[in-house]
Amino acid sequence: MTTTTPSRGRRRAPSRIERAAGKAAALQKPRVILALLLLLGLTSVMLLDGYLRAEVGGDERVRDGASSSKVPDKIINGGPIISFRGGQATTVSVPAKTIALTFDDGPNPTYTPQVLKILEKYDVPATFFLVGSMVSRYPGIVKDMVDQGNEVGIHTFTHVDLSYQSDARIRREMTQTQLALAGAAGITTTLFRAPYSSETDAIDNYSWPVYEKLGEEGYTSVFVDTDSDDWKKPGVSKIVKWATPSGTSGAAVLMHDAGGDREQTVAALPKYIEQMRAKGYTFTTVSGVIEAQNTAARAGQQANAPAGTAGGQLQGGNRNGTGRLQAAHREATGTTLYEGKALVVAVAVAEYTVPTLSVGLVIVGVAVMGRFGMMLILARRHYRLRNKRRFSWGPTVTRPVTVIVPAYNEKECIANTLQSLAKSTHPIEIIVVDDGSSDGTSEISREAARALGMTNMRVIRQENAGKPAALNNGVRNASHDIVIMMDGDTVFEPDAVHQLVQPFADPEVGAVAGNAKVGNRNTLIGAWQHIEYVMGFNLDRRMYDLLRCMPTIPGAIGAFRREAVLQVGGMSEDTLAEDTDITIAMHRAGRRVVYQEHARAWTEAPGSLKQLWSQRYRWSYGTMQALWKHRKSLTDKGPSGRFGRVGMPLVVLFQIVTPVFAPLIDVFTAYSMIFVDFRAALYAWLAVLGVQLVCAAYAFKLDKEQYRYLLMMPLQQLAYRQMMYLVLIHSCITALTGGRLRWQKLKRTGEVGTPAGVG
C-alpha cells in the first residue's frame, strides 16, 4: 500500500470553491424562504378562488314552518322594506302604481350586461342585490351598474343563509361584500337582502335576530311583494304574469340576473316594463321608495307645523352623472377603499392564475400518465431483451479493474465498504482517495485492509478539493483500463463488479450504470427512498437504456473506460452532479452508456429530512447545471445530437418540468375536496395512486423486491413527495438566481453492512 500526503506548512487560504460555497450558504436561507412563499402564494390563490366559487360550510336553509313568535306582527304584516331607527323596527311599503324592480345573485358576465342594456334603453332604475364574491370577480360590471344610476345592495359574500351563522361569519359576509363594492365602484351600501328570503311573513325566530343585529348596524333589509319565480324558468309569459302586482298595488318585484340560465328573464324584462308602463306604473329604486315615504311624511309635518318651522330634512345621499338619486350609497374612503381595491386585484390574480394552472394540470396529468405508460412498456421490453437466453454482451470480461472509492470523513462506513470489496468475485484493484478527511478515514482504511488481508488496496491522500477532484485523482492513478466509481458509504454484492463490467465486452460501451439500492430501508424515510430508488431510478434507467439516452450513472455504482473518462476531461467541477455531467459528456463523445440491473450496490440513504433535503437539493440543482452546460447537444449531430434531441427533452420534462408542476395534482385535489366534490376528488386521487402502485409493483417484481414496502406508498405520496416538490422548486430558484453549491457531506451511521445482512 502506498500513501501520498499533502505538503505541510502554514494554513492555506480558502479555495475559490470554498469561498463560493460560503457565499452560496449565506444565500440558501432566503431562497428556501422564497420557495415557501411561492408555495404559500399558490395555496392562498387557490383558497381565494375556491372561496369565491363555493359556499364553504354552514349553508343550511331555515326549516319551513319554523315559529315566528318572536317576530313583531307589524313586521310580518308590514311592507317589504325594514328600517331600524332608534332601536325600533319600522316597515315601508311601495306606493301604489310603483315598482321597485330588484335583481338578485349578480353580477353575471353574460346576463347582467344584457339587463343593464334593457334598463338603460327604457330609462328604468333598479336595485341589484349583489353577491360579494361575484362583485370581486366582475368589478367592471358593478361600476357600469352604479354609473348607470342603479342602486346596489348586499346579498352576502358567498350566498350563505345567515340564519344559523355565528356573529363572526355574519360580520365577515357583510364586511367582505362592502370591501368588494368599494374596490369595484368606490362605494358602500346600506341595503341588504338575505339569500333565500321572500316576503316578510316568512321571517321566523331563526332569521329575525340577524335582521335586528344588522339593523342596529345601519342596514335596511329588503324583502319582496311579488316574486317572478324566474329561477324556475317557467317561460316569458309566466315570468311577466307572476311579477305583476294585483290591481294598482305597488310592489318590490324580485328577478334574477345570475345564478343560472337567465335567458327567459332577459326576454321577459322589456315586455314587463312595457306592460307595467301601459298600466300607468312608474319604476324606482328601494331608496326611491323610502324617500317617497319620507317626502310624504314631511309634507304631513309641514301641513301641521306652526308657521316658520321646518318639517324635516332629506336623508343624505349622492347623485351620479345621470341625476338619479343613490341614497343608499356611501363613498368609500380610507382603509375601506384601499382594502377593497386590494381584494379586487387579488381576485383578478386568482381568476387568471387558476385557469392557467388548470391547463397546466391537464398537461402535467397527461405527461405523468404518459411517463408511467412509457416506463411500463419499455421496462418490460428491456427486461425481456436482457433476460433472453441468447443475450450476450460478448466474450466474458475477466481482466482486473480498478475500483475508486472517494472518501471524506467516512469513518462510520469505510470499513464495511472495503469488506464488501474484499468478497468480490472479480479481480480488482482498490484505490481509496482520502479527500482531506479529519476523522481518521485513511487509518481506518489501512487497518481494515490489514485485517482482511487485502494487498490490492492503496490509500491516496489529498487536500480537501471535492469529490470530482478525488475521483480524477483515482483515475490518474488507476492501473487498469476499466475504472469503477463508488461512494464511501456503499457496499457491493460479491458479484457486483463482475456483472458491472460485462457490457464492456461491447466495444461501443463507454460507461455502465449499476443498480443502486437503499440499504437502510427499515426506517420510514428509508422505506420511502427505497420505493423511489426501485420505481423512479431503476425503472427510469431501463427506459433510458432502450432509448440510448441514459442521463445519469449513479455515483454509488458506475463503471467507465478509463480512456473515455480522460477523453472527456475527467470528472468536471463545473456542476454539483458530476455523475450526470460525465454521463452526458460520454454521450457527446460518441460512447454508449448502458444499464446493468444485475450489478447491485447497497447505499446508505439520508436518515433525516434535513440531510435528505441537502442531498436532493444538490442532485436537482446539479442536474440543471449539467443540462445547461451541455445544451449545445440539442443542435449537435450524431450520438451527441441523439442525446440532445431525445434524452435531454425527456430529462427536462420528466425530472424538472413535470415534478415542478406535479404539485398541481395535489393542490387541485385538495381544492376539489374542499370546494367542489369531495368524493369525486378522492376517487380521482386514488385512481392516480393506483396507477403509481401498479408501476411500483412491476418495478419491484423486476428487481425481485418485497412488496410489503409498497404499503408505505400512500403516505409517501402525502408527505415525502411534497418535500421533493419543495426541493425542486428551491433548486429552480437557486438556478434562476445564479447560486452555487459545493459537494456536501452527509452524516453517516455505517448501518449498511454487507449485502447478506440487508433484508
423-463 tens-digit pLDDT? 999 999 999 999 999 999 999 999 999 998 899 999 999 99
Q: Which three cell numbers stand for residue 191?
A: 341595503
Residue 548 confidence (pLDDT) above 80 = yes
593-597, 634-638, 712-716: range with highest mean pLDDT: 593-597
Ranges 356-360, 493-497, 562-566, 664-668: which has the least confidence: 664-668
Question: In the beta sheet, which residues pair with residue 104?
Answer: 129, 256
pTM of the full structure: 0.67
Residue 759 confidence (pLDDT) above 70 = no
For β-strands 592-603 and 428-435, DSSP reports them as unpaired
Average pLDDT over residues 499-517: 95
Which helix (H) or strand (E) covers residue 402, if one does? strand 401-407
**DSSP at 110:** T
How far is residue 167's CA from residue 173's CA, in Å, rounded to a whole number?
10
Task: Give the 3-state secondary structure of residue 231.
Answer: helix
Report the mean per-residue pLDDT for the chain: 84
Residue 194 confidence (pLDDT) above 50 = yes
Q: What share of the chain is helix, strand, coil (3-state, %, to 5)?
A: 55, 15, 35
Please give the residue that has the higher pLDDT: either 732 or 18.
Answer: 732
- Residue 256 has a pLDDT of 96
- Say if CB 83 and CB 220 are below 8 A apart: yes
Average pLDDT over residues 333-342: 93
Nearest to 621 by CA among 744, 470, 512: 744
The widest CA-to-CA distance across the chain, in whole angstroms, is 127
- Say if CB 417 and CB 751 are below 8 A apart: no
- Residue 353 has a pLDDT of 78
Residue 346 confidence (pLDDT) above 50 = yes
- Residue 51 has a pLDDT of 67
- Residue 218 has a pLDDT of 92
- Residue 422 has a pLDDT of 94
665-669 CB contacts, 8 Å cutoff, 24+ apart: 665/361, 665/364, 665/365, 665/368, 666/721, 666/722, 667/42, 667/43, 667/46, 667/357, 668/46, 668/357, 668/358, 668/361
For β-strands 88-92 and 191-192, DSSP reports them as unpaired
- Residue 722 has a pLDDT of 74
- Residue 319 has a pLDDT of 38
Which helix (H) or strand (E) covers residue 708, if one does? none
In single-letter form, the type of residue at position 147 comes to: D
For residue range 656-689, list pLDDT tens digits in order.
887 777 767 777 777 778 777 788 888 888 888 8
For residue range 683-724, list pLDDT tens digits in order.
888 888 888 899 889 999 988 899 999 988 888 877 787 778
Residue 12 confidence (pLDDT) above 60 = no
Average pLDDT over residues 85-100: 90
**DSSP at 146:** H
Average pLDDT over residues 379-405: 90
Q: Which three cell numbers stand for residue 505?
A: 465486452
Helix axes 139-147, 167-185, angle to 10 degrees: 70
For residue range 230-239, list pLDDT tens digits in order.
999 999 999 9
For residue range 128-144, list pLDDT tens digits in order.
999 999 999 999 999 99
Cis peptide bond upstream of 107, omega within 30 = yes
Nearest to 615 by CA among 727, 472, 486: 727
Provide the pLDDT confidence category of residue 66 given band limits of 50, 70 and 90: confident
CA quadruple 720, 726, 727, 732: dihedral sign: positive
- Residue 747 has a pLDDT of 55
For residue range 453-502, list pLDDT tens digits in order.
899 999 999 999 889 999 999 999 999 999 999 998 899 999 999 999 99
Ranges 270-279, 343-352, 563-572: which has the least confidence: 343-352
Please give the residue that has the higher pLDDT: either 511 or 315.
Answer: 511
Provide the pLDDT confidence category of residue 602 given band limits of 50, 70 and 90: very high
- Residue 326 has a pLDDT of 67
Please give the residue that has the higher pLDDT: either 354 or 568.
Answer: 568
Q: What letters, b where the CB count within 10 A reaches 16 and e where it falls short, cover 369-398?
A: eebbeebbebbeebeeebeeeeeebeeebe
How far is residue 294's CA from residue 538's CA, in Å, rounded to a whole number?
83
- Residue 8 has a pLDDT of 34
- Residue 15 has a pLDDT of 42
- Residue 303 has a pLDDT of 56
Q: Which residues belong to the active site?
A: 104, 256
How far is residue 379's CA from residue 612's CA, in Å, rounded to a whole number?
27
Q: Which three cell numbers stand for residue 550?
A: 441514459
Residues 6+ positions from 580 with CB-CB distance below 8 Å: 551, 552, 622, 623, 626, 627
